[in-house]
Chains A and B, each alone.
Chain A
Amino acid sequence: GAVVSQHPSWVICKSGTSVKIECRSLDFQATTMFWYRQFPKQSLMLMATSNEGSKATYEQGVEKDKFLINHASLTLSTLTVTSAHPEDSSFYICSAISRFPLPEAFFGQGTRLTVV
């Protein structure tokens, strides 16, 4: 089946630094990818929709200058957490939609971000 690869799986960074998370669709092209944030023992919260070749669409309450999304190709979307703070520590998950034969969402392995 289709695979989505997310990297890195774990990252620890200092406050004030930036962290980039990559999401790749390995065997299909994804014009749309989604970025989620998951707090402990909670469901996934959609942060933004990443659109290839255009600006991302952010959900209400998500700071676009804080969470920079770039979708430069049909197989790669990146999420950069800028000037990270401890409250940004969370589990981030990306998803890509394969449209054929029927729409189905595939998820990356997730990235555990810890800001110290």
Chain B
Amino acid sequence: AQSVTQLGSHVSVSEGALVLLRCNYSSSVPPYLFWYVQYPNQGLQLLLKYTTGATLVKGINGFEAEFKKSETSFHLTKPSAHMSDAAEYFCAVMPNNAGNMLTFGGGTRLMVKP
């Protein structure tokens, strides 16, 4: 069984400020971890993923996330927020065995103030 918790359904930052979106997971097997972004009335776009290897993962649009096994976390960060970053962000986990089902967190809406 696996689950994903995103702390904070809404996060508001000023343009240029640090973005930190939190994600904690539980999984019975080592997981693959993903962050997706969703703009209004659109599907999900992959920001970045962790599968194996380096625990600090860099993605598109300047985002990065660090897999911390001891904390079962995969927080998403960006040094400087841009207005275009305003969207819904979803953390997801997939078991790295034969099953390929994604489990999503509840989502975090990022708002960027000018």
**Contact in complex: A104, B49 (CB < 8 Å):** yes
| A14 touches B (CB below 8 Å) | no
A35 to B41, CA, bound (A): 16
Tell me the A78-105 residues at the B interface (CB within 8 Å).
91, 93, 95, 97, 99, 102-105
Residue of B nearest to A91 (CB): B41
| B43 touches A (CB below 8 Å) | yes
A112 to B40, CA, bound (A): 11
Residues of A within 8 A of B (CB): 4, 6, 32, 34, 41-44, 46, 49, 91, 93, 95, 97, 99, 102-110, 112
Contact string against A for B residues 47-65, beta-carbon threshold 8 Å, 1 for contact and 0 otherwise: 0010110000000000000
**Contact in complex: A107, B34 (CB < 8 Å):** no
Residues of B within 8 A of A (CB): 32, 34, 36, 41-46, 49, 51-52, 90, 92, 94, 96, 100-102, 104-107, 109
Main secondary structure of the interface of A (DSSP, over half): strand
Cβ 8 A contact of B43, one of A46, A102, A109 = A109
The 9 closest A-B pairs by CB, nearest first: A107-B43, A107-B44, A97-B100, A110-B43, A109-B43, A43-B107, A43-B106, A102-B51, A103-B100
Which residues of chain B are within 8 angstroms of A108 by Cβ–Cβ distance?
A: 43
Contacts A34-B101, A44-B44 aside, 13 further interface pairs with beta carbons under 8 A come to A6-B43, A32-B100, A42-B106, A43-B106, A43-B107, A46-B101, A91-B41, A95-B102, A97-B100, A102-B32, A105-B92, A105-B102, A110-B41
Cβ 8 A contact of A93, one of B44, B51, B100 = B44
Closest CB-CB distance, B39 to chain A, in whole Å?
10
Which residues of chain B are within 8 angstroms of A102 by Cβ–Cβ distance?
A: 32, 51-52
A73 to B26, CA, bound (A): 34
A32 to B34, CA, bound (A): 19
Residue of A nearest to B88 (CB): A41
Closest CB-CB distance, B24 to chain A, in whole Å?
15
**Contact in complex: B94, A105 (CB < 8 Å):** yes
**Contact in complex: B49, A42 (CB < 8 Å):** no
Residue of B nearest to A110 (CB): B43
